[in-house]
Amino acid sequence: MTALIGMVALAGLAAFAVYRWRQRERVRRVERWVSDFLVTREGRLPDNLHINCTDDRGWPVLVSFDGSSGEARHHLQFYCGGPTSAFAFLSEKEEARR
């Protein structure tokens, strides 16, 4: 019985490790896609770029960076809930720096 409990616990740990690995791979894929999007749009990666991608596919990916002139901070939202082909830009807000 003890061996069976140990095997079940080991299988649970292995399943959790695979789940976390797949989530980290998704985050890396989203970060690559967002970076490519910004390079295409801005001509380079913007300064002070922050990409916030959670493990929850239902939440938007939040991106912020300094504008090229440094006078504004940009806040973008992306939908990245499905396959890479379904990733989409949702919105942008520009905030003046003081």
Number of domains in the chain: 1
Q: Give the CA angle between residues 33, 34, 40 to the nearest 5°.
A: 90
- Of the chain, the end-to-end C-alpha distance in Å amounts to 66
For the chain, which ranges sit under pLDDT 70?
A: 98
Q: What is the pLDDT of residue 85?
A: 87
The beta-carbon contacts of 50-55 under 8 Å, at least 24 apart in sequence, are: 53/26, 53/27, 53/80, 55/23, 55/26, 55/27
Q: What is the pLDDT of residue 98?
A: 67
What's the whole-model pTM score?
Answer: 0.79
Q: What is the pLDDT of residue 36?
A: 96
Which residues form the domain of 83? 2-96
Q: What is the pLDDT of residue 34?
A: 96
